[in-house]
Structure formats: structure tokens, C-alpha cells
Amino acid sequence: MKLSLPQHIQLIVVNEAFQVVSVQGNVAPLIDSGLLEMLVESADGGAIAPIETPTDGAVDHATDHLAPTAPGLSPEQLAAQLLGLEIYELFPELFGIDEILVEVAAGDRPEFNIKGIGRVTADGSPIYFDIHITAHPSPTAEHYLIFFLEDVTDRMSLEQVLVQATNEKHLLIRNLEETKQQIDQIISAMSEMLFLVSEAGLIRMVNPATRHLLGYEAEELIGQPMSAILVRRDAPSAPESGHLLVAEEGEAVCQTKTGAILVIAFSRSRLTNTLMGQLGRADMAQDFLYVGRDVTEEKRRQRYQSVQHLITRIISESNIATQALSAVVRALCQEFDWQLGEFWLIDRTDVGSGNPSAHCIDHWLSPVLEISHDWKPVRCLRLNEDHSFLSQVWQATKAKWQQNLPNQAVPAGTLEIQNLNFKTGFGFPIKTGDQVLGILLFFKQASQLVSPDLLNLGESLGSQLGQYVERRKAEEALLLEQEKSERLLLNILPETIAHCLKRNARTIAEQFAAVTVLFADIVGFTEIASNLSAIELVELLNEIFSEFDQLTEIHGLEKIKTIGDSYMVVAGLPTPRADHAQAIANMALDMQLVMSRFNDRQKRDFQIRIGIHSGSVVAGVIGLKKFIYDLWGDTVNTASRMESHGIPGRIQTSAATYALLKTSYQFEHRGLVHIKGKGDMDTYFLLGHMP
């Protein structure tokens, strides 16, 4: 039977043994290249007998449409050579699908397809084909399969072209996106301000530096005229266009969202229609690109030099220090637009007390402030009890700047002053060496960004005024006498144990009624020490005890001492605490975890023995040299016996400690243990927290 097939489809029929029994069309380019070479070599050049069809006419072996495709073999000869070969030899891709082919031949599966098989022709050109397998109808019991071989080279080539075009399109889009990202990154990384402004003077785009400097979000600026951020223009402008500058560069005074004033040096570039067209905005006649640099500090720096000369003249012409400092406060307020200035002196007679006081000597108020004429500032403050800006400068001992001040930040403030809502504060100490003699403070209602140059000026003026005050020390004789009296009083009245030790050598001790003491000992320390060098031993002990020290900080305990491989710690002193037993119990459990981690890390098998007891102790310092804070009493001895009579790896507690912990921790009752010097004592092993 001969089928009428399109030229791009070839046909092969196989029997149920998968042997070729018929070939129709030119299959040379499609079969395995190795097989084709073998068939060409074996060809003898003779004629090939016609292929006989089965007597039942089930299969047609006609090969009329085959064209020569291999040297020495015509399509008919090649077809004859293929007869009897297994289909796998022609198409190795079919190996492993025997069961599928059987199902198709038996009619259990309608068909089977293999897509996109590739070959290379003799001239190196690629060829692609699909195999469609279906059962061959036969009136006999024998099953046949038809293999339709469809040339899909053109389709595959078209798909490849489409894929390549798609990939190139995606690559182009990605390159465009990367370029846009790079441009956006450059704009975002610029430290200068950047505005894109339309011909009508409306803001079209701003960069992050602009938003950060002016304090606006992009949505608040875009669509607004440039005049919205201007205070005045120092360069000629064109009001009818609403633009910032007419010249290519110039300075403009801008205002931030919070009201701060900035001087900006701008340069302007014109973006032409051609550039706009490239950006997809061909409808715009032109845009303007403004790049601005904040030169506010440069302008201020010029002012600072003149202020320095002014202050020098004031103090050189004044004979009284307090009058000179009052004049300095007034001059600085007027020069830098501060609305409130204050001059504070530190009471040096109680500086050593830890809570010195400060006195407001003078102040200056701007005439524009609405405040009653009889307003009086607070005159004296304790620096460590006050949370105002004055205390902050005192603690910093250097010039300080603060924005968004809370109402209580003005130290001389009454309710009337607080209602003025000062937002910015600046202050610097008057110093001689490391000693703070006084503090000058300044406040304004506007929020102003920190000025490093003004801070530097404050530091310089603070040192200059400090030296001046020292030269006028004679005018402060009364204050110095008061300082001597205060110091004498401080020598008489004790504050801490340290102060007591400085004044005399008497024994200092204190009774604590409720504490818990812990002793820990590394088991077998003597044997361990004999197998290690001294340096290795110290390093190991240091590693273990350093972790124990960290635990004392975590649990708020007081480490007393270490003796050899013994560690002593206590809870409940010098500050009493109700949970002293719980704190020590947690410490003991954590110490076991530390030892476990240490052994894993160091590949060792160290064990610690821990003993705990609760009771009263005496704590204090004795002796004249090498002072040490130590404990005494029966509680200490019992805790030590709990450790020495304990079991390696266990935490042994007395009945007193067990009574304090039994509701929150798990214990194992050990029973009566004979304790040296104490007799039989009922003891317990601490196991852990209650579940």
C-alpha cells in the first residue's frame, strides 16, 4: 500500500519485532549518521531487487519519492538496505520505549510522538524532525507500526529566530533598565540638590539630596513653583517665568519645611527639545536643570571671623568678668538671631559633691518675643537633678547643638517661657583646662540645622572666655571663699565607703541579714595542674572564670574572690534583694552550662562541684593596704562546706536555701550528710527550674 504523503513527511513501517519492513520517502538525512556511513561502506553498487509486499497487502514498500542522499546509494538502495534492521538502529532515540511501542501496536495507546530530533547533514546544515508513531491497520494478527517522520526544520528555525529575537528584546529591555537604574543611582548618590523645572517654572523632579536638605517629600514639591522654597533671590530673576535664575549660575536663599534658612549656590542648564524627545517628552518645549550646593556654612564662616574680633574687643574693654560675659551673650544673640541668651556660672564649691549647682547670672531676650516685663528666670539649678539643655552641655563638657527641643529644655524657663516653643538650642561651656567655670546658652523658635562652624566657634570662645575669667579671679573672691567652706563640709560629711576610706582608716563593715553564698570548685584540680604547664593552666582558668564573671553581671551578683580553682559569689549585697536565692540558683545552673560548653570546645572533661547556702553575713573592708571587699560569718563557712562535701557535677544546697527555692525549682533530696564542724545536715541537689 502506497500512501500519498507531503514531501516533508517520510514513512517507515516496522513489524511487531520492530524490524523495518517498508520505507517510503527519503530517510537518509534522518537516520543515525553512524548507521548511514556503515551502509554506504557496505554497498556493492549493484542493483537492489524490488521489495516484495506481504501477500495480504498490509504494507506498501514503494519508494518512488526518495531522492539520492548518500554517496553510492540511491533512496531505493538505502530503503533496501534498511529492511530487516531494528528501528532502534535507525533512531537510537527510541531505545527504552519498547513497552510504549508494544502498547501502540496493540491499540492500547492511540499514538506516541517524539519532538525535535536533530541531525546534521553532510554539508553541516541542521535538520529537525518529529516522529509520530501509530498502529498500521492489518487484517492479520500480526501488528505493524507506522513511523511518520515529519521535517520540522523550518518551524524549528523559525522558533529559534523568534526565541533569539525575544532574547535580544529582553536583553535590550534589561540594558535599558540597567541604564535607567544607573542614571537613577547617580542622581540618588548626588550630594548636591537637583531640580528639573518646566519652562513655566514648575518643579518636575527632585533628587533625594534635595528632599533631605529641604525636608519635603517629593510629592510635596513636584508641581509646585520654585518660588515656594525661596525667601529672596540674590541673582536677577524673571518673575513672569517663575524661574529661580536668569543667569546660568547664582545664589538663592531657600527655606526648608521646618523654616530653616539655607543659602544655595545654583547652576542652571537648559534641556533642549531634542533631549526631551529622547526622553519621551517631545511635547515639552524645554526644561531647566538646576544643580545646587548648600553654601550656608561658608557664608556663616565669614560671619564667625568678624564675631571673633567683636568678642575679643568686648573682653578687652571690660574690667568685670560678669559684665563682659553678659555683653558676649547679647552680641551673640544679635549676630546669629538667637531670641534668648543665658549666662550660667557653676558653683565650684560643690563640684566634688557629684551634684553641683549652677546660677543664672544674666539673660537676654529678643524684643520681638511677647513676654511680660516682670518675668524673672530661674536662678539656681542642681545639674544632676535637672534635665534641661544646661545639664546636657554640662555633662558633655563641650559645645552642643539640639533641634526640636522639648518645652522643659530651657533651664531658666517658667511656664511663660515654655509657651514660646523654642525649637533650637546652642550652648558651650566656659572652660579653663578641664574645669567648667560657666555655660552660655542660646535658644530660638525656628528649627535650625546643626552648624559645625558655630560649634567650633563655641569651643574657641569657651576657651578664650575661660582664660579671661581666670584673669579676673580676684573679682570672684567671695565665691572662692564659699567654695572652701563647701569643701570643708564635704570632708566632714561621708557619702560612700570610698569617701570614708579617704578620710580615715577605721574598719568599715555592714550586716546583711538575707544573702545567698555560692562556692564552686573545679574537681581534681591538683591532678589537672600536674599535667599542664603553668601558662596553660592559667589560660584555662581564665577562660572559665571570665565566663563566670559575665554570668555575675547578667544575674546582678557580687563576685567576692577566686582562690586557686575556687570561685565565690554572693547575691543580696551590697544592695539587698528579695530574690537572692533565685539569682544564685540561676547562676549555678548557668555555670554548669558554661562548663559543658567549655568541655565541648576544649575536648576536656572538667567538672565543677557547687555548694550553696543562705543566711546572714557581715561584709566590709578591713586593713590598711590592698583593700578587698569580703564576707564573714557562719553562712560563708556553711556554703563552703556544701561545696567541699558535694558531688562532682552536682549543685548541693542546704535546707535553708532549699526552703527558699522549693516552689520554683526541682530538687533531689540527698539526705543527711556529715559536715565537718557542723554535724549531720540535711542537703539537696538542685536539678533545674520547675517545668
pLDDT tens readout for residues 427-474: 999 888 888 888 899 999 888 888 888 888 888 888 888 888 877 765
Check residue 388 and give its pLDDT.
80
pTM exceeds 0.85: no
Rounded CA gap, 438 and 321, in Å? 11
Evaluate if residue 303 carries a pLDDT over 90: no
Segment 629-652 shows an average pLDDT of 91
CA dist., res. 207 & res. 672, Å (int): 80
Q: Would you say domain 508-689 falls under CATH 3.30.70.1230?
A: yes
- Domain 9-151, architecture per CATH: 2-Layer Sandwich (3.30)
pLDDT digit string, tens, across residues 175-210: 888 888 888 888 888 888 898 888 888 898 889 998
Q: Are 347 and 358 in contact (CB under 8 A)?
A: yes
Supply the pLDDT for residue 16: 86
Q: Please state, in angstroms and as integers, the Cα–Cα distance from residue 68 to each residue in 23, 25, 261, 306, 346, following that order.
A: 14, 10, 91, 104, 114
CATH ID of 312-475, from 3.30.450.40, 3.30.70.890, 3.50.50.60, 3.40.50.300: 3.30.450.40
pLDDT in tens, 401-436: 988 888 777 775 566 677 788 889 999 998 888 888
Q: Which of 518, 519, 510, 512 is nearest to 616 (CA)?
A: 512
Q: Is 198 helix (H, G, I), strand (E, B) or coil?
A: strand
State residue 490's pLDDT score: 31
What is the C-alpha to C-alpha distance for residues 538 and 519, in angstroms, rounded to an integer? 19
- Which single residue is written with the C-alpha cell 586557686? 564
Nearest to 35 by CA among 90, 95, 87: 90
* Annotated domain spans of the chain: 9-151, 190-294, 312-475, 508-689
- The pLDDT value recorded for residue 381 is 80
Provide the β-strand partners of residue 248: none
**Residues 6+ away with beta carbon under 8 Å from 94:** 87, 88, 101, 114, 131
Same fold across 190-294 and 508-689? no
Average per-residue pLDDT for the chain: 80
CATH 3.40.50.300 is the classification of domain 190-294 = no
Given a cut of 90, whether residue 657 has pLDDT beyond it is yes
Helix (H, G, I), strand (E, B) or coil at 190: coil
Residue among 541, 539, 583, 567 at smallest CA distance from 639: 567
Handedness of CA 250, 251, 252, 256 (dihedral sign): positive
For residue range 95-139, list pLDDT tens digits in order: 989 899 989 988 889 999 999 898 888 778 888 999 999 998 777
